[in-house]
Structure 1
Amino acid sequence: MRRTLSPTAVSAALAAAALALATPLAQAATSPSVAANAAHVTTVRSCAASTHRDVMACQALKVTGGTLAPAAAERTATGAAAPSGLGPSSLQSAYKLPSATAGSGRTVAIVDAYDDPNAASDLAAYRSQYGLPACTTANGCFKKVGQTGTSTLPSANAGWAEEISLDLDMVSAACPNCKILLVEAKSSSMANLGTAVNTAVSLGAKYVSNSYGGGESSSDTSYDTQYFNHPGVAITVSSGDGGYGVEYPASSRYVTAVGGTSLKPASTSRGWSESVWSGAGSGCSAYDAKPSWQKDTGCARRTVADVSAVADPATGVAVYDTYGGDPGWEVFGGTSASSPLIAAVYALAGTPSSGSTPASFPYAHTGSLNDVTSGSNGSCSPSYLCTGAGGYDGPSGLGTPNGTAAFTG
């Protein structure tokens, strides 16, 4: 039996583990790194960056080498052997989530492209490792469908399978009692992924995570209307992993754009510290109108992001994935981690009111977020669009969850 500690005890244990207990990760993969940082962590993209208009790429970054923030912290907190990377106890502690009791009966939908044939078995392995309740097709917790809601699934793809594993594991970590609906689009075109979003909503999901993005285009406002205008549904989207710059659908005015942070244990009352992750996407949309609830003055159109959560691969999360030759336990970062986390926090917070715009909820509850005031993802003017600052800033938005109050409405 794994022992469960209170959030306060978990915070204390994680802080005591300290960053000095960093865990080396053996060098892997010979493909070139696409991201590195001061901690000398190297990564590869799970999905190649898109070179075609209106074709999306997933935002998962797999760690291939370097030194990670302490896996020892997770082991100290849970009293169990733990893989490298942050797990459920760490994430629940860092964001003060009521995950032991909340979320029962609520469905978080994950929208991705292509099929992960091992999704169910890999999800079971992750949840078993951390002592989470079983979430299976048999017990009605997990369901996988194609983009129109039928049992006809798309072709398999190893890169998107990594993304799917990351998404499923992050929802599990933040909301162990939530049900999970995986909707697999037949390709990574915006049209097919958007159809999958509509299917997720039609099947009853009130929380829909999208961990993908591509360049903005003049078609975005029509996509907004076709795929993302779902009042009363919390739709989260990764802001991107390329640093300063805007991607779609994060720039849709109907979604919650989720940026990224570096998350580390700290000897503070919270037990954690956060700064802007240098890879988080942010900026000012070229096409989407500014929603009425967004009040920053340095961007006349939609500003990205709204809120954020851990995304730095150097403070990355543990993921279990086996399709396509993956070894099982790996560490991932990218805003593909933060989007499903925030979708699960919305689920913990409760069903959005009928006709509401859940992206606006955090703007009405700014005091219920952890303000991220340091770090940068590039150079820009005005500077708040790319630099952590008190109050609103582009890369971290209004901040990270401090409980669930900021996600109610």
Structure 2
Amino acid sequence: MRTTPTDSAAGRRRWRRIGSAVTATAALLLTGLATAAHADTARASAPQVTWTRSCALPRHQGEMACNALRVTGGRTAFQQQHGISAKAADATSPSGYGPADLRAAYGLTSASANNGTGRTIAIVDAYDDPNAESDLAAYRSHYGLPACTTANGCFKKVGQTGSTTSLPAPNSGWAAEISLDLDMAGAVCPNCHITLVEAKSATMTNLGTAVNEAVALGAKYVSNSYGGGESSADATYDSTYFNHPGVAITVSAGDAGYGAEYPAASKYVTAVGGTRLTTSSTTRGWTESVWSTSSTEGTGSGCSAYDSKPAWQTDTGCARRTIADVSAVADPATGVSVYDTYGADGQGWATYGGTSASAPIIASVYALAGTPSSGSYPAAFPYANTSALNDVTSGSNGTCATSYFCTARTGYDGPTGWGTPQGLGAFTG
């Protein structure tokens, strides 16, 4: 059964850049509503859920949208597996995967003896979430994770210039994104410190400034769960905001199906695709396929129109940067539990998906793996140890002339990269 969004027609348009000659704004006009699901056996058995986007779509070139998708109805895989009835209006208990599930699925249960002690993950988002710290506390308390507060020095919230008092205006959609990102960071790396850097708006310029601030504050792992259309300015953005050797920077591949987005297309970042994650009778105990609902709903992937190919990427079908590098769970139907109380949609527990979930998961795996060596580009690490990843070999996120850009296969492919974490081996220098 296909997963169905509940947005308005405008909200369901694909907004990514379509080809090198189409701007992000034009892309909004050229895309359509979701139609039929792909003939993919794994997805055909997916639970039926409905979901909605958390953030407004970008209206202009250089604007970004967050990739958080909130489940609004139906039964998630977690509910089915645990015999829980669908409770679309009940926000009093979790209905998606929690920390134990994620750590088990990705071989992280005993992957790091210190669980990230002494390491700091930065979360970069736009606008302010006034309830960020209290919501994070509620999530961590429920799952028995160590407290992470301003008072104990674990949590810090700043604006894009580093101020703890001069923060941007609040925004309920981006607040949901912030809650998702913070919760995933804690779920995967429970002892990591977390720095939330809030950009004053959702432009690439302001979000990029926030990335620079995160690095300046000492974070060696920086998660970015947003994206927009590619443009000729991307090479400048690359050198200005994302060229930070010795820092693992992860970026969501996008939620609009096949097609390249920025900053996932940056040659300096780890582009993170999305999967559908379910339990199975295999030795691993879990199975994954490409997350895709239709040709316009699913993990992003593709061949960049502007960004040059990094030296460590060797696929031959794309002369420029290919998206993605690695992947993690993103399908809302197999989504993660999040606690959010800010704004009209923030009423407590909810289930979220989108590559907004997979980007902070991968950033946290990098944090568990240890500090990248000075001068290194951590995006290259998975390419050096592909056997330490779960190869995702089924599913497709659209139609493309070069099949591996949009269809999973053995080895490297666009939607899932080299695969999903199997412990920490693929994320060390």
What is the TM-score of this pair, normalised by structure 2? Answer: 0.85
Deviation at 1:49, TM superposition (A): 1.6
Aligned to 1:170: 184
Deviation at 1:70, TM superposition (A): 2.2
Aligned 1:4-403 pairs, distance under 5 A: 34=12, 38=44, 39-71=47-79, 73=81, 83-97=94-108, 98=111, 101-151=114-164, 152-278=166-292, 279-325=298-344, 326-403=346-423
Is contact 1:74–1:87 with CA below 8 Å preserved after alignment? no
Matched residue of 1:260: which SS?
strand
User: What are structure 1's unaligned runs of at least 5 residues?
Assistant: 1-26
Equivalents in 2 of 1:154, 1:82: separation in Å? 31
Is contact 1:74–1:89 with CA below 8 Å preserved after alignment? no
Deviation at 1:223, TM superposition (A): 0.3
User: What are structure 2's unaligned runs of at least 5 residues?
Assistant: 13-33, 38-43, 85-91, 293-297
Equivalents in 1 of 2:83, 2:136: separation in Å? 20
Is contact 2:5–2:52 with CA below 8 Å preserved after alignment? no
Q: Given the superposition, is the C-alpha separation of residues 102 and 28 from structure 1 closer, same or farther in structure 2, using an over 3 Å criterion?
A: same
Deviation at 1:71, TM superposition (A): 3.5
Most deviating of 213-222 and 37-46: 37-46
Q: Given the superposition, is the C-alpha separation of residues 369 and 142 from structure 1 closer, same or farther in structure 2, using an over 3 Å criterion?
A: same
Equivalents in 2 of 1:223, 1:158: separation in Å? 27
Q: CA RMSD of the aligned region, Å?
A: 2.0
Equivalents in 1 of 2:82, 2:133: separation in Å? 24
Most deviating of 133-142 and 43-52: 43-52
What does the per-residue CA deviation read over 1:340-385, in whole Å, with 9 as the maximum and x for residues that have no partner?
Answer: 0000000000000000000000000000000000000001121000
Deviation at 1:73, TM superposition (A): 5.0
Q: What one-letter code is carried by the residue in structure 2 that aligns with 1:187?
A: S
Equivalents in 2 of 1:302, 1:199: separation in Å? 26
Task: Give % identity.
Answer: 71
Q: Given the superposition, is the C-alpha separation of residues 74 and 352 from structure 1 closer, same or farther in structure 2, using an over 3 Å criterion?
A: farther
Q: Given the superposition, is the C-alpha separation of residues 404 and 218 from structure 1 closer, same or farther in structure 2, using an over 3 Å criterion?
A: same
Q: Given the superposition, is the C-alpha separation of residues 254 and 28 from structure 1 closer, same or farther in structure 2, using an over 3 Å criterion?
A: closer
Is contact 1:28–1:65 with CA below 8 Å preserved after alignment? no
Matched residue of 2:256: which SS?
coil
Q: What one-letter code is carried by the residue in structure 2 that aligns with 1:86?
A: Y
Is contact 1:71–1:83 with CA below 8 Å preserved after alignment? no
What is the TM-score of this pair, normalised by structure 1? Answer: 0.90
Aligned to 1:23: none
What does the per-residue CA deviation read over 1:21-64, in whole Å, with 9 as the maximum and x for residues that have no partner?
Answer: xxxxxx99786784796533221111122121000000000111
Equivalents in 2 of 1:258, 1:93: separation in Å? 19
Is contact 1:74–1:90 with CA below 8 Å preserved after alignment? no
Is contact 2:242–2:269 with CA below 8 Å preserved after alignment? yes
Deviation at 1:243, TM superposition (A): 0.3
Is contact 2:112–2:369 with CA below 8 Å preserved after alignment? no
Matched residue of 2:300: which SS?
coil
Equivalents in 1 of 2:50, 2:413: separation in Å? 27
Q: What one-letter code is carried by the residue in structure 2 that aligns with 1:364?
A: A
Equivalents in 2 of 1:127, 1:227: separation in Å? 31
Matched residue of 2:144: which SS?
coil
What does the per-residue CA deviation read over 1:248-299, in whole Å, with 9 as the maximum and x for residues that have no partner?
Answer: 0000000000000000000110000000001000000000000110000110
Number of equivalences: 380
Deviation at 1:82, TM superposition (A): 5.8
Q: What one-letter code is carried by the residue in structure 1 that aligns with 2:354?
A: G
Equivalents in 1 of 2:124, 2:5: separation in Å? 29
Equivalents in 2 of 1:71, 1:175: separation in Å? 24
Runs of 4+ in 1 over 6 A off after TM superposition: 27-30
